Each structure stands twice: as C-alpha cells, then as structure tokens.
C-alpha cells in the first residue's frame, strides 16, 4: 500500500525518521494534518452527534480528573494539543509535538479551566518530534507526570487530543501494536489537531502523538464536512521524552523512589541467589552420586562378620 501523509500549511514538512527495514528516512509526517486549524472534533465517552460513517471510529474513555491536564497549544493560525506534566503553582511544564511549535519560540496555552497563558519553548527534539514549553501560571494546575516504565505491545493506552472542529477534548483508547525504533504505533484513529496530545498509561505520560503514516477521508461531522482519519496513531516514545526532559527540565522529571529502588535491587539480588543455588545444586549432584557409589563398593568388600 502506498503511504499517504497529511498536508502542512505553507507546504512545509515535518520529517519523522522510520528506520524499519532499510534504515532510511521513510516517514514524512506533514504537520498540518495534525495541527489544529482553529476549528476541529470532540471527545465524548459516547459517539458525538453527526457520525455518518456507519461504524464506531473511537473507543471513548470516560471523563476523569486527570484529563484536566490536557491543553490546547495555539500558534498563529493553527493549533495543536499538549499535556501538563509538572506544576508548582507559579509555573508549569507542558509537553507537545515539536511540529506544533516548530517555527515559534512562544505560544498560547489554553487550559480546560478556560484560562490562557503565554508559554515559552525551552526544549526541542526535532528528530523525534517533541517540544517542551515553560508556562507561567497563577494557580496550581492538574498534571500527568512523565512515566518511568514504558508499556509494551498489547497494552491499552489513553490518547487525549483536541483534533476536530469543536475545539473540545477528545479522549479515547488505543492498543499498542508496535514499539520499534523508539516510536509507538497504536490501533486508533487521529484527526487533524491531535498532534502533541498525550499518550497515557497507568496515570503517567508515556508518549506524545505526532501523526500517522496513512490517511483516508472517512469521517463526516454533524455539518457534513469530511475529515481525514490518520491511522494508525503514531507517537514519540517515553525514552525520548525523558531524555529531552533531563536536558532542559530535570526538576520536572519523576524518578524511582528510594523504596522502589531498594525493592528493585533486592529483587535482583534474590534472583541472582536463586540462579546460583540452582547452578550449585546441578554441579554438586554428580559428586553426591559418586560418593554414594564409592560407599556401596566399600561395603561390598567388607566381611559380613568374624568366624570364630
């Protein structure tokens, strides 16, 4: 199948490496398909009115408190999605896709409590399409911390983005189908504007949406307008997020607790002890058999008793 990519306003391209197979750059993610033109679709736990495709395109997740950490990133005439991962009441750290803010140093961050702030881009990873924004705030914001352990193939994750026409949060599930080359692919459909949205697992951010390799016009909104479905959902992985965070905002990066580290070391020591015990038992078993055999031979040479 020939791969198709979303178009980007102005004809620019966001290059996302795909090393599978030949090791050459194959994936050309064109930003605007996932840049939110300031008019785009919602995330309700049930299909929104106006679905005319005849099938369910999204597995909607129920409304939950952690979803307040999702934000809209507005840059010029386009917008995207992001996730607040840290806040101390005076400043917040937001993670998004780099192509959402690629040509700017500052952007507007719109919170779900209707507040807006101007944030500054403090870190970029253009190769893996990740950006970090420092946002001054006046109150404590809900955050979703960056994860420590990444989920593998088969795990279900939640995706949060503001794609579509209605500028409201779309929250839905997807199942991981690939984690090759430091990227993630999930069984889920995206809409223009979901770029930068968070990939959530067990209450932590484990990836950032950047797009997908295929596109098809299959979704009709309530007004009858056709929207491209981008699939499968693609995202930058946790390891790349943590690397960029450690470079520009290490204070906002969760680490293992002391107890967790102790338990991890204790588990490793216990495993080593079990392996050593097993190996030792197998090595000594032949010696035990030899000892038993020698004892039998010695007994055979002994006289049964004195004859007097």
- Convert the pLDDT of each residue in 264-297 to its tens digit: 445 555 667 676 776 666 666 555 554 544 454 4
Asked whether residue 63 carries a pLDDT value surpassing 50, the answer given is yes
Q: Which has the minimum average pLDDT: 43-52, 108-117, 268-277?
A: 43-52
**Residue 174 CB partners (closer than 8 Å, separation 6+):** 59, 156, 157, 158, 159, 186, 187, 188, 199, 232, 233
pTM across the whole model: 0.69
Q: Given CA atoms 126, 16, 169, 187 in this order, what sign does their dihedral have?
A: negative
C-alpha span between 157 and 147 (Å, rounded): 13
The HSE-up count of residue 204 (CA atoms within 13 Å, CB side) is: 15
Report the mean per-residue pLDDT for the chain.
76
Cβ contact 172:145 at 8 Å? no
Residue 196, pLDDT score: 97
- Best CA proximity match to 169, nearest among 64, 97, 75, 93: 64
More confident residue, 263 or 266: 266
Residue 255, pLDDT score: 78
Residue 250, pLDDT score: 97
Asked whether residue 225 carries a pLDDT value surpassing 50, the answer given is yes
- Alpha carbon distances (Å) from 172 to 45, 227, 228, 231, 252: 8, 17, 17, 14, 26
Residue 246, pLDDT score: 97
Asked whether residue 91 carries a pLDDT value surpassing 80, the answer given is yes
Percent of the chain residues topping a pLDDT of 90: 53
């Amino acid at each position: 199948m020939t791969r198709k990519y979303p178009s980007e306003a102005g004809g620019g391209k966001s290059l996302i490496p795909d090393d599978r197979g030949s090791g050459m750059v194959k994936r050309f993610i064109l930003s605007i398909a996932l840049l939110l033109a300031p008019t785009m679709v919602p995330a309700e736990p049930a299909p929104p009115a106006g679905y005319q495709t005849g099938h369910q395109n999204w597995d909607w997740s129920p409304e939950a408190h952690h979803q307040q950490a999702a934000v809209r990133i507005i840059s010029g005439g386009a917008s995207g999605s992001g996730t607040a991962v840290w806040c101390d009441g005076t400043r917040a750290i937001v993670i998004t896709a780099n192509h959402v803010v690629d040509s700017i140093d500052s952007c507007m961050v719109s919170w779900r409590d209707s507040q807006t702030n101007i944030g500054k881009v403090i870190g970029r990873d253009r190769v893996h399409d990740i950006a970090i924004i420092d946002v001054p705030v006046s109150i404590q914001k809900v955050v979703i911390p960056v994860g420590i352990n990444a989920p593998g193939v088969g795990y279900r994750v939640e995706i949060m983005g503001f794609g579509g026409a209605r500028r409201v949060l779309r929250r839905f599930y997807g199942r991981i189908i690939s984690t090759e080359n430091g990227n993630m692919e999930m069984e889920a459909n995206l809409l223009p504007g979901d770029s930068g949205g968070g990939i959530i697992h067990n209450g932590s951010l484990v990836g950032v949406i950047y797009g997908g390799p295929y596109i098809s016009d299959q979704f009709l909104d309530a007004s009858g307008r056709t929207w491209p479905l981008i699939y499968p959902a693609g995202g930058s992985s946790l390891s790349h997020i943590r690397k960029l965070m450690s470079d520009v905002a290490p204070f906002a990066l969760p680490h293992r607790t002391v107890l967790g580290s102790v338990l991890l070391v204790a588990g490793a020591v216990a495993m080593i002890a079990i392996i050593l015990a097993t190996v030792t038992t197998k090595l000594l078993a032949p010696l035990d058999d030899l000892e038993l055999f020698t004892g039998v031979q010695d007994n055979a040479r002994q006289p049964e008793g004195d004859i007097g």
